């Protein structure tokens, strides 16, 4: 493990752990939630505001950035951090997940994935080598290996073939990343465990990756439709086999209760579009569950969205005002609700970290579920 | 003039003047530019950020607010200031201008204007009395008399009839405003000079209003298609007849060079949607003129939009990044460009105030035009 990328575990509670992931661009408190900044912006947010919500690290999407404005352009402009005015760590995905979802527009071979842009139909290729090159051009601090996100549902044979292709691509990603560049010396590469919902395939995938020398391991191919129960089952047999000295990242997860359950099972890192996307579709996350601000009962309600939240949206505005902004299609509605949702997610992570540090995670989890069971506050 | 609403003129330069308009909600430095917060929000901006650009006062629209969320709802929630989290002065228009633009959806009588909502087709009435009631319910600090915005072009007879109707409505507005309410004791009412492009009608309108006891006078019915030359002509014969001891407000103006010319002619207050609307349509105002950020020449340009501007958009981001956000339809593009444009307008007002105070307005105006004549910076 390189000195400038190190996970320092400070406390454990059951299978959960809390600590700090040290990088040359700053510390990441774990368990960590990474807001998604797809197109070099966390939608409807200034980066300073994202930081104020408690984010230590952002996620950027290779697929979107390679198409627009292009990785080469960002590189020429000084890299992604400078481009988007975020000096702290950035993790980039490999592009694999997004190109898989292009359906009719892509073709997978051993070499990689040929695909057409969803923006203008132009033709592109993503391979382990090209994905590593793009992530280097962007200046990513945590680079993800290029993999195939196995579709769900899939037969065991399909899942095995897909996982084994991803493992061969993981080796090529590793070799391409460690090409002697300055970038590789300062930054980290994560491998991705695949294998769908099959225990033996997950363990085979871990075996393939664990001695290769990745700086962290992700669990991929979950939150793709299998449901929370199945996802937790997979984590239950996967996590005990995962190396403990590196960060463990559950990709694309998730809802607050998904995160809580995954932290209990030993996950250190999360990313999800849920808080930001919901912020643009009138969904607010609160300690008492999810609130739809389009609902008529909010239009005269002078109370904040979440009385225990200290964000701008909750400390300065009423549900009535947020409701008005959303009904009027005002941009400020998306801005405030996104800020609130990101604050909610970061507060949840801070609560989990504090609970693990105090050895009281089970109390925290019980309280988390009890409050949600109450449902939203009564109408006035 | 009531004590808690007083214009203190600190310096004059030719017909221009600078000073402070004192209100119980805070000082307004004049000449002042008022950002437009149509639906209880300056679009794409947090109110704190609007304040940081240098705004002392916002404008709210009676027509929009009466329909959604309704003046009664805002009143029940504690008034417009609390609703939208802006504690400084707010001027509200009377609704007259907007209902006139409804064309087929409205009917004008001596009583007022019956109209249908553009949102849901519901039927409403605006009259001097109802407009005063709505502006009181909102908690407006500068209330505008209800008037008819005379169409342009119009014959002299049409313009005279329209202006005289507005003068009768001004009297009714005045009487309805001074109804003994606490609101009237603390806040101000402005009359609106009409008369189109006819000197004798403008002077007749001023005569009708000047002794009624308004706390300020606006020049209405300009910037409706007559062009800058005609607008300045109207100001040239109107302004010398306007009272000098109250603020003088040019409604709905305007482009930077409109504002500069109007300040030279003695105007103290302005409002316009231009900086905010342009911020959502890729138009940036700079000291060297207007820039269209959709233009391909910006996509690789690492320079700020305006090198002399200290706003977030110019100090933290490149033209390349702004261009990327706009091409990608990202909300942050509208946020940053709106913030820049409002900063540009407020910087312009500060420049005008400083120049008048120093007795160097003509130098300032010459420099203003000389820089714009240079055109935008050369492509790299």
CA angle (A121, A123, A128) in 5-degree steps = 130
pLDDT in tens, B121-151: 999 999 999 999 999 999 999 999 999 989 8
Mean pLDDT of B41-53: 98
- Please report where in the chains the tokens 């605006």 appear, as a residue: B126
Q: In this complex, is the C-beta atom of B40 within 8 Å of any C-beta atom belonging to chain A?
A: yes
Spatial contact of B66 and B98, defined as CB atoms under 8 Å apart: no
Whether B103 has a pLDDT exceeding 80, the answer reads no
Cα B261 to Cα A149: distance, rounded to the nearest angstrom = 62
Q: In this complex, is the C-beta atom of B380 within 8 Å of any C-beta atom belonging to chain A?
A: no
Q: Which residues contact B168 (CB under 8 A, 6 or more apart)?
A: B110
Cα B287 to Cα B299: distance, rounded to the nearest angstrom = 21
Q: How far is A171 from chain B (nearest CA, A)?
A: 34
List CB contacts (< 8 A) between A44 and chain B.
Answer: 331-332, 335
Which residue among B43, B85, B328 sits closest to A68, beta carbon to beta carbon? B328
Residue in chain A nearest B82 by alpha carbon: A317
Q: Residue B64 belongs to what H/E stretch? A: helix B62-67
> Reduced to 3 states, what is the DSSP secondary structure of residue B53?
coil
Whether B170 has a pLDDT exceeding 90, the answer reads yes
Structural tokens at position A58: 């952002």
Spatial contact of A131 and A147, defined as CB atoms under 8 Å apart: no
Q: In this complex, is the C-beta atom of B337 within 8 Å of any C-beta atom belonging to chain A?
A: no
Q: Which stretches within B213-273 are classed as H helix?
A: 228-238, 256-264
Q: In this complex, is the C-beta atom of A294 within 8 Å of any C-beta atom belonging to chain B?
A: no
Number of helical H runs and strand E runs in chain B: 16, 16
List CB contacts (< 8 A) between B334 and chain A.
Answer: 331
Tell me how long chain B is: 380
Q: Which residues contact A269 (CB under 8 A, 6 or more apart)?
A: A21, A28, A30, A31, A32, A34, A91, A216, A218, A247, A248, A249, A250
Burial A345-372 (b: 16+ CB within 10 A, else e): bbbbbebbbebbbeeebeebbeebeeeb
Residue B257 is assigned to a ligand binding site: no
Task: Give residue A179's pLDDT.
Answer: 87
Instruction: Kindly report the number of other CB atoms within 10 A of residue B103's CB atom.
Output: 6
Taking 70 as the pLDDT cut, the residues of chain A under it are 1-2
Task: Give residue B2's pLDDT.
Answer: 65
Task: Give residue A373's pLDDT.
Answer: 97
User: Is residue A271 flagged as an active site residue?
Assistant: yes
A141: left (phi over 0), alpha (psi -120 to 50) or beta: alpha
pLDDT in tens, B293-317: 999 999 999 999 999 999 999 999 9
Cα A30 to Cα B202: distance, rounded to the nearest angstrom = 70
Spatial contact of A228 and A261, defined as CB atoms under 8 Å apart: yes
C-alpha dist (Å) from residue B307 to A5, A242, B295, B338: 38, 52, 18, 17
pLDDT in tens, A126-184: 999 999 999 999 999 999 999 998 988 999 999 999 999 999 999 999 999 998 889 99
Q: In this complex, is the C-beta atom of B320 within 8 Å of any C-beta atom belonging to chain A?
A: yes
Cα B96 to Cα B63: distance, rounded to the nearest angstrom = 8
The residue from A13, A258, A268, A271 that is catalytic is A271
Percent residues over pLDDT 90 in chain B: 93
CA angle (B23, B25, B28) in 5-degree steps = 55
> Which among B331, B336, B338, B380 is the top mutation candidate for probing chain A, defined by the most A β-carbons within 10 Å of its own β-carbon?
B331
Spatial contact of A276 and A42, defined as CB atoms under 8 Å apart: yes
Average pLDDT, chain B: 96
Mean pLDDT of B195-209: 98
| Peptide bond between residue A31 and the one before it cis (omega within 30 degrees of 0) | yes
Structural tokens at position B100: 């006139």
Which residue among B83, B302, B321 sits closest to A321, beta carbon to beta carbon? B83
Domain boundaries of chain B, sorted by first residue: 33-271, 279-374
By C-alpha distance, which of A92, A36, A57 is closest to A338?
Answer: A36
Burial B116-142 (b: 16+ CB within 10 A, else e): beeeeeeebebbbbbbbbbbbbbbbbb
**What does the CA dihedral A123, A127, A130, A134 come to, rounded to 10 degrees?**
80
- Please report where in the chains the tokens 């996590």 appear, as a residue: A239
> Reduced to 3 states, what is the DSSP secondary structure of residue B71?
helix
Burial A302-328 (b: 16+ CB within 10 A, else e): eebbbeebebbbbebbbbbbbbbbbbb
Q: Residue A358 belongs to what H/E stretch? A: none
Instruction: Kindly report the number of other CB atoms within 10 A of residue A286's CB atom.
Output: 22
By C-alpha distance, which of B186, B187, B192 is closest to B149?
Answer: B192
Mean pLDDT of B143-168: 96
Cα B284 to Cα B253: distance, rounded to the nearest angstrom = 17
The structure's pTM equals 0.98
Q: How far is A351 from chain B (nearest CA, A)?
A: 28
- Domain boundaries B33-271, CATH class: alpha beta
List CB contacts (< 8 A) between B327 and chain A.
Answer: 68-69
Task: Give residue A356's pLDDT.
Answer: 98
Whether B284 has a pLDDT exceeding 70, the answer reads yes
């Amino acid at each position: 493990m390189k000195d400038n990328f190190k996970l320092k575990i400070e406390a454990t509670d059951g299978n959960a752990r809390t600590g700090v992931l040290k990088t040359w661009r700053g510390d990441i408190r774990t368990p960590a939630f990474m807001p998604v900044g797809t197109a070099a912006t966390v939608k409807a947010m200034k980066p300073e505001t994202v930081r104020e919500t408690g984010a230590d690290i952002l996620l950027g999407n290779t697929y979107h950035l390679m198409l627009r404005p292009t990785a080469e352009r960002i590189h020429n402009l000084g890299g992604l951090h400078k481009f988007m005015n975020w000096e702290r760590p950035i993790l980039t995905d490999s592009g694999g997940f997004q190109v898989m979802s292009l359906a009719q527009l892509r073709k997978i071979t051993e070499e990689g994935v040929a695909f057409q842009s969803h923006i203008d139909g132009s033709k592109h290729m993503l391979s382990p080598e090209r994905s590593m090159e793009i992530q280097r051009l962007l200046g990513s601090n945590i680079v993800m290996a290029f993999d195939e996100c196995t579709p769900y549902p899939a037969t065991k044979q399909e899942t095995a073939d897909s996982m084994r292709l991803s493992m061969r691509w993981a080796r090529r990603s590793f070799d391409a990343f460690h090409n002697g560049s300055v970038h590789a010396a300062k930054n980290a590469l994560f491998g991705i465990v695949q294998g769908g919902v099959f225990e033996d395939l997950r363990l085979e995938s871990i075996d393939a990756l664990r001695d290769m020398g990745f700086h962290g391991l992700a669990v991929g191919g979950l939150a793709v439709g299998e449901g929370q129960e199945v996802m937790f089952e997979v984590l239950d047999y996967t996590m005990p086999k995962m190396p403990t000295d590196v960060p463990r990242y559950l990709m694309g997860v998730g809802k607050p209760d998904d995160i809580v359950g995954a932290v209990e099972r030993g996950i250190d890192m999360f990313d999800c579009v849920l808080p930001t996307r919901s912020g643009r579709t009138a969904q607010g996350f609160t300690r008492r569950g999810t609130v739809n601000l389009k609902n008529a009962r909010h239009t005269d309600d002078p109370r904040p969205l979440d009385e225990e939240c200290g964000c701008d949206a909750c400390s300065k505005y009423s549900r009535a005002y947020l409701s008005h902004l959303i009904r009027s299609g005002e941009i400020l509605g998306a801005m405030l609700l996104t800020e609130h949702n990101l604050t909610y997610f970061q507060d949840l992570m801070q609560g989990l970290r504090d609970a693990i540090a105090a050895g009281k995670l089970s109390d925290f989890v019980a309280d988390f579920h009890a409050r949600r069971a109450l449902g939203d506050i009564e109408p006035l």
